[in-house]
Chain A
């Protein structure tokens, strides 16, 4: 089954110059290993195609059940140079939560994820 990250995590994003950061936090501790396994820097780079021009770095914070992503060259120059509505990358958080990942029914059941339509 395919699950949106929105069902597995919450997030907050911010900026440092032309780099946006997105902190992805597991809604439940049990979801963290799944997120750490599936939501790789490569997946995130692919997901943000067209919005992020530079590379993507990933850092792990198992203590918070969280992953931190740095999305380089993503804010139209950043700070005051940017013409974007979201020059500070504040909404990149939910943009990441749009991502859909494949989870086996068995794993979904063992994690207690709600399975859509039964």
Chain B
């Protein structure tokens, strides 16, 4: 067995499905890396993929991943860069087959192995689980899943780093998973390279913190950074984050030389607190990381050293992400111009609400916002002072009855000719009725989930 490497460089190429398309390509081409991790799955993504798969058994994964592989696979094979991606969605095997076809077309047959991780999808097992008394209660409300069972569209347990480690151990160059944690995509390569033990909680926590720092792409390299935002250099050319990990669990957060953005203590701190709950208990399938133990040190230009991370044993449960149909919604907007823009928008809102009442439409929720006055900070923004140049009226409705929502969408345009003056902004046509897919977080005992790893030669 070869000696573990001194450091490995793990690069994030995608912070969410829809992130900058060229970011992963640049991570591969603009400097040295050993691993490329790509996060494709948001909570709602799984339900979209489940529907795609229902229509087409070959579909149900992040399609963008396949053309990306076509572009970078030759570089990855040539430079032995390994890829971990949760692009598999609800069909990791379908995704792997598509990548295999691409690899063969590129003349890479016999030159790489592709690994798939599955077992996270429990959609087909729900009734059996419920019958056996696994209630999958909503973690926020405590309600049992049986309340929405017939409306469920997808159900996936979050798998952690270990199945990814297994695939890497078997020689996979590209590891495609379904619903695995974002952090596992970064931690997996570290465990594989450094041979960390499954009870080495401090190191597992360190790798988890590393994963958390890079999983949102440029949000740790100067993007969406409050601190000194005016002076962050060249965001047009922003570099995505890279961790340089060492066997002892310490690591440096950095980015490729010559790219834009900035890695410093404030940029890393801001990402550390992003979506944080109880900082002493950042729970993943692999460990519980204590964010109050993290130590940061400035290690030069665009380099932050992270050390001291402590962890405690993993829990006996996995989180389950369940999506279910929860009615419909639509949002309409109109723009009112000076003078008295805010007063006009308010008047238009009153008129519209009176008409919706007269039509006898029933909604579960109606929300009016005045963009330019209070849409983000609500009452904290205070009453708008002065005479604003323009204000956008934004009104949204949500409910179970699709017909009521559809009727609402037909009441926006008429306001232009039947309401307050100097109004515009309706070029996009009627608002679209959207199906609402809500999210049901639950826990399941680890003993109920068996992940499966398959590694095959192209």
Binds B, one of A88-96, A101-109, A110-118: A88-96
The reply on A61 being an interface residue by CB < 8 A is yes
Within 8 Å CB of B292, what residues of A? 60-63
The reply on A35 being an interface residue by CB < 8 A is no
Within 8 Å CB of B375, what residues of A? 85-86
Within 8 Å CB of A49, what residues of B? 379
Q: Select from chain A the residue with minimum beta-carbon distance to B272.
A: A64
**Binary per-residue interface labels of chain B (23-45) against chain A in the complex, 1 for a CB within 8 Å, 0 otherwise:** 00000000000000000000110
User: Could you tell me which residues of chain A, from 7 to 28, have a CB within 8 Å of some CB in chain B?
Assistant: 10-18, 21, 23, 25, 27
Within 8 Å CB of A83, what residues of B? 329, 331, 365-367, 396-398
Would A80 and B365 count as touching, CB distance under 8 A? no
Would A79 and B226 count as touching, CB distance under 8 A? no
Within 8 Å CB of B326, what residues of A? 80-81
Contact residues of B: prevailing secondary structure? mixed
Report the Cα distance A111→B271, complex, angstroms. 26
The reply on A4 being an interface residue by CB < 8 A is no
- Assign chain A's interface to a size class: 35 or more
Within 8 Å CB of B224, what residues of A? 12, 90
Q: In angstroms, how far is the closest chain A Cβ from the Cβ of B328? A: 11
Q: Select from chain A the residue with minimum beta-carbon distance to B379.
A: A50
Would A10 and B227 count as touching, CB distance under 8 A? yes
Contacts A17-B140, A83-B396: A98 and B274 contacting too (C-beta < 8 A)? no
The reply on B273 being an interface residue by CB < 8 A is yes
Within 8 Å CB of B365, what residues of A? 76-77, 83
Q: Select from chain A the residue with minimum beta-carbon distance to B366.
A: A83
The reply on A1 being an interface residue by CB < 8 A is no
Q: Select from chain A the residue with minimum beta-carbon distance to B138.
A: A17
The reply on B275 being an interface residue by CB < 8 A is yes
Most chain B beta carbons < 10 A, residue from A12, A25, A62: A12
User: Could you tell me which residues of chain B, from 311 to 330, have a CB within 8 Å of some CB in chain A?
Assistant: 326, 329
Would A98 and B380 count as touching, CB distance under 8 A? yes
A residues in contact (CB < 8 Å) with B? 10-18, 21, 23, 25, 27, 47-51, 59-66, 68, 70, 76-81, 83-86, 90-91, 93-95, 98
